[in-house]
Amino acid sequence: MVKKVQAAKKKKRKKVVETSSEQETSEEEDSKEEVNEDEQLRPECLSPEELEKLKEAVDERKKLVQSLRGKPWPMKKKLVTLRESQEFVEKYEGALGKGKGRKLYAYKVMMTKRWMKFQRDFENFKTACIPWEMKIKEIESHFGSSVASYFIFLRWMYGINMILFGLTFGLVMVPEALMGRPYGSIPRKTVPRAEEAGAMDFAVLWDFGGYARYSVLFYGYYNNQHAIGWLKFRMPLSYFLVGVGTVAYSYMVVIRTMARNANESGVGDDNSFNFCWKMFTSWDYLIGNAETADNKFASITTSFKEAILEEQENQKDDNIHLTRFLRVLANFLVLCCLAGSGYLIYFVVRRSQKFALDGLENHTWWERNEVNMVMSLLGMFCPMLFDVISTLENYHPRVALQWQLGRIFALFLGNLYTFIIALMDEINLKREEEKIIKFNITMWEASLYNGTASENSTTPLITIHPADVPRGPCWETMVGQEFVRLIISDTMTTYITLLIGDFLRAVLVRFLNHCWCWDLEAGFPSYSEFDVSGNVLGLIFNQGMIWMGAFYAPCLPALNVLRLHVSMYLQCWAVMCCNVPQERVFKASGSNNFYMAMLLVILFLSTLPAIYTIVTIPPSFDCGPFSGKNRMFDVIHETLESDFPAWFSKVFSYASNPGLVLPFILLMVLAIYYLHSTSKSYKEANVELKKKLQLQNEENKKKNKRAALKAQTDLEEARKTTSQAAERQKNNNASLRSQEEYEENYAKSQRLCHSKNGRNPTFSGEDRQHQVTARVSRNYHHGNHETHGYLPGFSQQSEPRICRVPSLQRH
Amino acid sequence: MGNKQTTFTDEQLEAYQDCTFFTRKEILRLHGRFRELAPHLVPLDYTNNPDVRVPPTLIVTMPELKENPFRDRIVATFSEDGQGNQTFNDFVDMFSVLCEASPRELKTIYAFKIYDFNRDNFICKEDLQHTLNKLTKGELTAEEVSLVCDKAVEEADLDADSKLSFTDFENMISKAPDFLSNFHIRI
């Protein structure tokens, strides 16, 4: 008997627990109180299934606490629910732990709690570490979210580069500096005698020659010793793995960010909700500055007026052939530009090779730095040219911006690849040179031996100062140097453009305005706007160059961290000081993934040359951690053989058997194909559903229109009959009653019609009144449009009805 | 921890961290901002949960809100009494929903409430007209306003009742590319 009562009480508790995750908490609190007391009395009498239910209830409560942030409840309710759930969980977790495994369960619970607390503290710590938050907020409030998005992107890049810097600095540069052979001990680590005189000159150092070249900053300094120092640190292995690791880490981060953004971005359906989006999503809530707000109001108004104009005119068919011809012409001009710039770079690189052969001292500063300057100048002027050409095309601003970005992308890419091809030519030259020098060195060593053999000593000691040993050419260091020089000149160009183009311009406009014929601020030069897309592209391409050169110059990530740090402060200052908020705001695309996608493409394209050189070209014999090997990746093979137990290398050799690798690759290709076709079918299903939704919408409108027309005719008939009846009969009540019936029937049909859409036709009296007047005014405006809407036919009030009838009459 | 703050007990801070998207430091900072609005009204010590409400006229002077055309509606939506008098709980709730970490669904729900001027759980044509007038500061003519509102209803209204229910609104906003980045206040 007691058990039955208990069971009943527990069922009630379960029901109570199930409803607790919904709205009301007050009743549940009361019932929980009584149940609690019961439970406290008999904690042991819980059968296994009741234990299970209790466990489920506790888990559900825990889940509720986790999801509390995202619930649309007022804060007070959330706090109360939180406190109750926590009390419930604490009370019953203890009870659950009775019986077998109690200690384990309690331990698990305690560890989970500790883990969550640790996670929370870590999150707090992480947010405290984020730099420049206030700076970005200030920029956001002045310029809106699109300009600030550039700075947020810059900060994100800074984070990535910090990690890359940590890897290269900690695992490559520091071990070699601390534990490797010191400077001057072996030939590759010493400045050759011929260059010693000018090794400390600033000009040479700025060019990354001299002492800068023979240091941990570049590939050539590293020794190929298998293990160095007392830690037996395997330098070549570490160098190789860090190189691979930087690329792998970058891929992981970019793809993870893209996946995260993909969830948030809307489906690219640009025109179906044009006006709605303009109304509800055009105001930027980040704006906190009066001038920016005014600009934003103006731009919103303009955009509405434009949309209204477009709507009213529909399509003004311009001369479509002329437009097409102009667009083709514009694309042709752009292609000519791109080809021209590619050829110019190739020509300049070949010329600089010629200069290098002649000896660099014979040429002017311009001729020495020609390549870098030409690339930077092209990057500055060609986009402006593209901008001018695009005025021929007459596209919508958003489409025009996308074309512009695409062209600048192609320009940078073409320049970069021409540069790389020219570099490859130089590498081949150096390798030819290498063969000759190798031959010369053997001759030189032989002569040394001949010289010392005459001394009749058993072990000929060759004590030659390392600086005097003839050195082989080191193409890897040369590549690293080229990239470092490119980055430096690019950075200098950017900063100088910033100072001249933005700052000087702003100063001139401000101070010359007093004594100039026309208003400089409103007219021609005026203050510049911040070019978000140009800056983002510049950032992306710089990062691409870092990725390309990081294998050959471990100092590049460090340089980049410094560069980004300075850029952040400089550009924040410049934007607040010299720029004005943009008048028209067109983002290049709806989602953030556009820039992420470009970054991914650049990452892929920049790792290709590095991978190609690693896989195909044998390393220099005289410099770097891989000297003496046939290929750079041989270091992995050697490590497997020498440092791992024997069975490991056997397993690996089986695993790298083509018979195993090929089926694996085939399997992956099949998996990709399967996923691709599934995603395609989902997309098609999505489109189908959208179409169905549209059709349903149309049908609903048609149905409502028909019903409204029918109601109209019915009412008119009813009116006629009532007026006739009123004339014929003296009893007004009877006629009104028939009118009511008509209304009711019609209202019933309306309700049936509406209830299909699942809406609840009950509402308060005040709303009804409001809706009646609303509908009246709406019908007046709509004219021939759909005459839908509520008709509260079943109201007993005569007032609204009489109001209604004349309005329908006007139709 | 290191700081000797006595504004909140640790349990209160943990509770706030569970119920909002803010960290401990941010919650303390928010309390500072709240106090700044009305220093004589808001006490420093919140350990016993005083029931203090700041009137909306003071809240809309915050730099984050003062240029926003919808500031009155935002403050009113997140207030207990619906008139805009906010307690600290409402204040924190408001900024938590509008912060960057807040999910799309939550923001959609509150956006709907903000744009529903007459609070009838539908965005009818009057609400749209109010919204538009606030956005354009009255620069558009009456016919233009009417045209835009009609077009908006036509685009988004799926159940053909000439106003937007929450489902219509949600369907329309879920595809909007700028919604998340624009409906965001950084505090």
pLDDT of amino acid A685? 93
- B161–chain A nearest CA distance, Å: 5
* Tokens 């835009």 found at: B148
Q: Which of A25-39, A478-492, A748-762 has the lowest mean pLDDT?
A: A25-39
Phi and psi at residue A416, to the nearest 5°: -60, -45
Cα of B39 to nearest chain A Cα, Å: 22
Interchain CB distance below 8 Å, B172 and A587: no
pLDDT band at residue A748 under the 50/70/90 scheme: low
Q: Which of A156, A285, A778 to mutate to test the interface with B (most CBs of B within 10 A)?
A: A285
The lowest-confidence range among A583-587, B140-144, B161-165 is: A583-587
Is B181 close to A145, i.e. CB distance below 8 A?
yes
| Residue B23: pLDDT over 60 | yes
Q: Which residues pair with A233 in a beta bridge?
A: A228
Lowest-confidence region among A321-335, A507-521, A785-799: A785-799
- Closest in B17, B69, B161 to A283, CB measured: B69
Mean predicted confidence (pLDDT) in A115-141: 84
Residues of A in contact with B15 (CB under 8 A): 79, 82-83
Shortest Cα distance, chain A CAs vs residue B6, angstroms: 19
Q: Is the pLDDT reported for residue A466 higher than 70?
A: yes
Is residue A7's pLDDT more than 50?
Answer: no
Cβ atoms < 10 Å from Cβ of B128? 26
Q: Residue A45: its pLDDT value, please?
A: 61
Q: Could you give the ipTM of this predicted complex?
A: 0.91
Whether A381 has a pLDDT exceeding 90, the answer reads no
Question: How many beta-carbon contacts under 8 Å exist across A and B?
Answer: 205
**B148, HSE (Cβ side, Cα atoms, 13 Å):** 31
Contact B136 A276 (CB under 8 A): no
Q: Across residues A262-274, what is the average pLDDT? A: 62
Task: Give the model confidence (pLDDT) of A415-457 as tens digits.
Answer: 888 888 878 888 888 888 888 888 888 888 888 777 665 555 5
Chain-wide mean pLDDT for chain A?
77
**What's the confidence (pLDDT) of residue A397?**
67
Would the CB atoms of A120 and B89 count as touching at under 8 Å?
no
What mean pLDDT comes out for the span B69-84?
Answer: 90
Interface of B with A in 104-163 (CB under 8 A): 104-106, 109-111, 115, 118, 120, 124-126, 128, 131-132, 135-137, 139-140, 144, 146-148, 150-152, 155-162
Alpha helices, DSSP H, located in A144-273: 145-168, 174-179, 202-206, 210-213, 235-264
Statement: residue A533 has pLDDT above 90:
no
Looking at residues A608-623, what average pLDDT do you find? 86
Which residue, among A641, A783, A604, A740, has the nearest Cα to A226 in the 3D structure? A641
Q: What is the pLDDT of residue A11?
A: 43
3-state secondary structure of B154: helix
Does residue A755 belong to the interface with chain B, where contact is any CB pair within 8 Å?
no
Q: How far is CA A215 from CA A174, A190, A230, A553, in A?
A: 12, 9, 22, 10
Predicted TM-score (pTM) of the model is 0.71
pLDDT class for A185, splitting at 50, 70, 90? confident
Nearest to A266 among B63, B146, B176 (CB): B176
DSSP letters for A483-539: HHHHHHHHHHHHHHHIIIIIIIHHHHHHHHGGG-SS-TTTSSS-PEEP-HHHHHHHH
**Percent of chain A whose pLDDT exceeds 90:** 13
**Optimal mutation site among A64, A275, A698, interface B, most CBs of chain B within 10 A:** A275
Contact state of B118 with A770 under an 8 Å Cβ cutoff = yes
Query: 10 Å Cβ neighbour count for A74?
Result: 15
**Is A266 in Cβ contact with B174 (below 8 Å)?**
yes
Contact yes or no for A365/A203 (Cβ under 8 A): no
Could you say which residues from 39 to 68 on chain B have a Cβ atom under 8 Å away from some Cβ of chain A? Answer: 63-64, 66-68
Which residues of chain A have a CB within 8 Å of the CB of B184? Answer: 145, 285-286
Residue B19, Cβ density class (10 Å: 0-12 exposed, 13-18 middle, ≥19 buried): buried
Looking at this protein, which amino acid is placed at residue A623? C
Residue in chain B nearest A124 by alpha carbon: B23
Of A19-28, A613-622, A643-652, which range is least confident? A19-28
In chain A, the residue whose alpha carbon lies closest to the alpha carbon of B120 is A767
Q: Which of residues 573-592 of A touch B (CB under 8 A)?
A: 587, 589-591
Whether the pLDDT of residue A106 is over 90: the answer is no
Cross-chain Cβ contact A273/B160 below 8 Å? no
Q: Which candidate, A569, A524, A516, A561, places its Cα nearest to that of A543?
A: A561
Q: Which of residues A655 and A314 earns the better pLDDT score?
A: A655
A-interface mutation test, from B19, B25, B91, most A Cβ less than 10 A away: B19
Which tokens go with A752? 């049936």
Residue A738: the pLDDT is 67
Per-residue pLDDT tens for A397-406?
667 777 888 8
Residue A674 has pLDDT above 70, yes or no: yes
Measured CA angle at B101 (ends B99, B102), to 5 deg: 70
- Where does residue A265 rank: exposed (0-12), middle (13-18), buried (19+ CB within 10 A)? middle
Mean pLDDT on B106-122 = 92
